[in-house]
Structure 1
Amino acid sequence: MKVIKFGGSSLASAAQLEKVFQIVKADKDRRFVVVSAPGKRHEDDTKVTDALIKYYKAYIAEKNVADIQNWIIDRYRGIIDDLSLGQGILERISKSIIDLASLPIEGNAFLYDTFLAAGEDNNAKLIAEYFKKNGLPARYIHPQEAGLFVTSEPGKARTLPSSYDKLEELRNCDEVLVIPGFFGVTTEGQICTFSRGGSDITGSIIAAGVKADLYENFTDVDGIFAAHPGVVKKPHSISELTYKEMRELAYAGFSVLHDEALIPAYRGKIPLVIKNTNNPDHPGTKIVLKHTGATIPVVGIAGDDDFVSINISKYLMNREVGFGRKVLQILEELNIRWEHIPTGIDDMSIVLRARELTPIKEQEIISQLTRHLEVDEVEIERDLSIIMIVGENMKSHIGVMAKAAEAFSKHHINLEMISQGSSEVSVMFVIKTEQEKAAVRALYDSFFNS
């Protein structure tokens, strides 16, 4: 039994939907199909989700929304006409889009989520209709009917544990179930979305709920590469990753899979494979709990930018009980999330995403550190990137760090900080952003081309 999810680029046009149909039809075990909203047909196109955001903004601003309504409906009409599906499904989708502009604005915390979810929801209706017309027994099912209930947290919904018992009952359905991704329903019946890109999350939740043998995530690439193809020319594809390795790579910039999507499948011990809708015969990249065979020490190299570091120095810091807690309490009170904390005996650095540090918060941090904690020095270092080498097998190989350091030295790349967790799944290097691409290339050459 398989759960299969298709991203927006796989569902952008009638031609893409024909590929999707053939993929689902080719394997009778593909019983649950999770879909995104239609994505871009070409580089200059607009995603349906982005159009729905524009629709929402116009509606709450009490502007005329007729043009944007028509654009969204015409987008679905084009696919429906090309697939010769008839007017019934178009009328159903049109009514759903137009009815959004009758929802209450005041006091409606879930209005934005309801607008956004319409892209996936209407696409699922269309795809189920297309499958049925072509002889594949299929049925659209709303997350509420499926039993996907979530917390009342607009834009960041979390699955309620009780959902999994209800979702397991879907195993008894005879049809192929087409399920809209990206959102669930609260116990009060409100539409509530996961974070952006959350169709991956829906697929993972469904896979865990029905206890699938495999979760197939179809995108527009042949799996996951050892480095970003935009940085390294023709990097080799990775055939197998563990969940821990994928989590590290997703955190550090690999955007093929939403990192939160790993959690339900990981906990449900469901293997996951990332494949290409446009090249379905390619084996893709499989994500498993443990490697099934021998593997190289470093499986992937990732880089991400837009980090800052709060660098703190205080003589005899290590002898001051509770100093670290007091520093982190300052961040907590300002609602700031930290990423990494490399330390020395008299200094510590707190690495943050730059978006966490507003000018007001920055001044408050400096003020509290100097006045209340009496630090000797504090500075904010900007324009930083993190580079990560990832591989669960690193811990059993000697010389990985030496090889990385040699690569940096050879290419004149200065290291600001180094950090490694106790699991030894990854090593993180902090460097200046201007050297990020050069660092990724240097590491790739050292670990893969040599």
Structure 2
Amino acid sequence: MEETLMKVVKFGGSSLANAAQVSKVVNIIKADDQRRFVVVSAPGKRFSGDIKVTDLLIQYANAVINKQDATPITDQIIARYQEIAEAFAIPAGDFEEIRSTILGLPQHDYQDNDYLMATFKAHGERLNAVLFAKVLTAQGLKAKYLDPREAGLIVTDSPNDAEVIPESYDRISEWSASSLIRVIPGFFGYNLQGQICTFSRGGSDITGAIIARGVHADRYENFTDVNAIYAANPAVVHNPIAIHHMTFREMRELSYAGFSVFHDEALIPAIQGDVEVVVKNTNHPSERGTSITSTKRVNPAYPVSGIASSPNFCGIYIRKYMLDKKGYSQKILNILAEHGLSYEHMPSGIDDLTVIMRQDQLTDDLEDTLIRELVIALRPDEIHITHDYSLLMVVGEGMVNRTGLMSKATDALARQNVKLVMVNQGASEISMMFGIQEDHANIAVQALYDAFFPDL
């Protein structure tokens, strides 16, 4: 007898980019009546060089803010939804709700331009969910749009970088017994004042995970445009192996270092609710995909699960005699905090240290200010900033209690003349991190893949 599960499914922008893709999504939902909650993104790119609806809405918002004519932009936005509506014979009267909502966005009262931008962006998902619920109904399924406010998805008062408020889960759980297919827009919720606030970009993954935890789903299926998550970037390594099962810890580590298939913040609600996450391909839904769970059985022959690199880091190098004493590290952290800067790592020696941080946080002026304040506070013997680092991650649950893996990795990198500027063994023992020059990143990923997956 087939196991009965409750599933939350999320479809990304590429899965909903046009009527042909939407038809595939309809068939996926029809194929499994356990898919009861459907979270949708805004329509994405239909072809190379196309523009996402979310980006059109950002243009629309900026035109309104700058008091410019937005008609050419609204025409494009309306056309994107209209193409889907006409393909599924949605009545013109039903589509008018979508058209009028788009045109009416500038008429609302907004606290400031940040809230205006958040509301405009959120309507890519909101209107796609409204339309998709109508499409499912037209296809003979019992479906209904569920707005995040009605669902109980309450978020913090940060218009473009919100976080879910924990009390939301109790409210969302009340929908778990729904007999209808509920179509929910991703990417946004409402603050306690009833204003729309969005998650960070790509936040529809987060919504899906929140709903999955809230309704106590057994599985959260995240449909995208790849067959699985791979052990290395296919754009760097030719035909890398698929990772069919990985743990939440592994995915979190790899997402940090550039695995962009799944939003790393979206794992938190799934981890908290112990909901299995499955990444699948809308275009090939019968493919196995990648399952992400709290534990997995490790193959001792392959202790490493994945290898990834992330560019655009820099390092602030500071050398001073007795730097390990007198609270110097705290002074550095205080200066970073005063400027709203976060750091990733701080490898140190007895008389020197390097602060590794994402360099897109810095402008030329801020760099100069930062160096000046560090010099005043520390009076270092040497200080400089080096740009264009990449962080390279080697991750795997099978690395725990294994010896020789660091040597294997550094030997592979040395053979390719990849210079290491930083090495860090993760406290959990499931990761190794290397700082390297950015222009060596692809060579390094290939070298490590060949070392840890020699026969595949």
2:93: which partner in 1? 88
Q: Which moved more, 1:103-112 or 1:389-398?
A: 103-112
The answer (yes or no) to whether the contact 1:60–1:105 under 8 Å persists in 2 is: no
Partner residue of 1:360? 365
Shift of 1:292: 3.7
Q: 1:141 aligns with which of 122, 136, 146?
A: 146
| Other-structure match for 1:405 | 410
Residue 432 of structure 1 and its aligned partner are, at CA, apart by 0.7
Q: Is the 8 A contact 1:370 1:376 kept in 2?
A: no
1:217 alignment partner in structure 2:
222
Q: 1:25 Cα deviation (Å)? A: 1.2
Q: Please give the alpha-carbon distance, in whole angstroms, between the structure 2 residues aligned to 1:417 and 1:253.
A: 18
What CA distance in whole angstroms lies between the structure 1 residues aligned with 2:52 and 2:276? 30
Is 2:79 the partner of 1:69?
Answer: no
- Which amino acid letter does the alignment assign opposite residue 444 of structure 1? Y
CA distance in 2: counterparts of 1:293 and 1:299, whole angstroms: 9
Secondary structure of 2:38's counterpart equals strand
CA distance in 2, matches of 1:359, 1:14: 46
Deviation (angstroms), 1:396: 2.3
- Of the three residues 165, 170, 176, the one matched with 1:160 is 165
Corresponding position: 1:235 with 2:245: no
Alpha-carbon displacement from aligned partner over 1:216-255 (angstroms, at most 9, x marks no partner) = 0000001200001111111111011111110111110111
TM-score by length of structure 2 reads 0.96
> What are the equivalent positions in structure 2 for 1:370-381 lying under 5 Å apart?
370-381=375-386
Code of the aligned partner of 1:337: S
Task: Pick from 311, 314, 337 the counterpart of residue 305 of structure 1.
Answer: 311
Query: Quick check: 107-116 or 5-14, which moved more?
Result: 107-116
Tell me which amino acid in the other structure corresponds to 1:341. Answer: M
Contact 1:181 1:199 in 2 (8 A): yes
Task: Please give the per-residue CA displacement for 1:25-80, whole angstroms capped at 9, x wherever unaligned.
Answer: 11111100000001111112111111111111111111111221111111111111
CA drift at 1:371: 2.5
Q: 1:385–1:430: 8 Å Cα contact kept in structure 2?
A: yes
Counterpart position of 1:45:
50
Give the secondary-structure state (helix, strand or coil) at the position aligned to 2:89.
coil
Question: d(CA) in 2 for partners of 1:119 and 1:42?
Answer: 18
Distance 1:124 1:367 in 2: 51
Quick one: which amino acid aligns to residue 300 of structure 1? Answer: G
1:448 aligns with 2:453: yes
d(CA) in 2 for partners of 1:309 and 1:274? 35
Contact 1:2 1:31 in 2 (8 A): yes
**1:164 Cα offset (Å):** 0.6
Q: What is the distance in 1 between the residues matched to 2:400 and 2:271?
A: 22
| Partner secondary structure for residue 228 of structure 1 | coil
Whether the 8 Å contact between 1:39 and 1:47 is mirrored in structure 2 is: yes
Counterpart selection for 1:317 from 323, 328, 333: 323
Distance 2:313 2:273 in 1: 33
Matches within 5 A, 1:46-445: 46-104=51-109, 107=112, 109-294=114-299, 296-318=302-324, 320-445=325-450
Alpha-carbon shift at residue 109 of structure 1 (Å)? 4.1
Q: CA deviation at 1:302?
A: 0.3
* Letter in structure 2 aligned against 1:176: I
User: How far 1:103 sits from its partner (Å)?
Assistant: 2.3
Question: SS where residue 378 of structure 2 aligns?
Answer: coil
Distance 2:345 2:66 in 1: 41
Contact 2:307-2:449 within 8 A present in 1 as well: yes
Measured after TM superposition, the shift of residue 137 of structure 1 is 0.7
Is the Cα contact below 8 Å between 2:298 and 2:397 reproduced in 1? no
**Which residue identity lines up with residue 212 of structure 2 in the other structure?**
A
Q: Is the 8 A contact 1:214 1:272 kept in 2?
A: yes
- How far apart are 1:367 and its partner, in Å? 2.0
Among all aligned residue pairs of Structure 1 and Structure 2, give the percentage whose two residues are the same amino acid: 49
Aligned equivalents of 2:176, 2:400: Cα separation in 1: 41
Task: Look up the equivalent residue of 1:389 and give its one-letter code.
Answer: V
Unaligned residue ranges in structure 1 (runs of 5+): none
Give the partner amino acid of 1:299. S
In structure 2, runs of 5+ residues without a counterpart are 1-5
Q: Structure 1 residue 293: deviation in Å? A: 4.8
- Structure 2: how far apart are the matches of 1:179 and 1:164? 15
Q: Deviations over 1:309-336 (max 9, x none)?
A: 0011111222x23221111111111211
**CA deviation after TM superposition for structure 1 residue 106, in Å:** 6.7
TM-score scaled by length of structure 1: 0.97
Aligned to 2:3: none
Q: Label 1:281 to 1:106 Cα distance change in 2 as closer, same or farther (>3 A).
A: closer
CA distance in 2, matches of 1:142, 1:285: 29
- Deviation of 1:398 (Å): 1.6
Q: How many pairs were matched up? A: 449
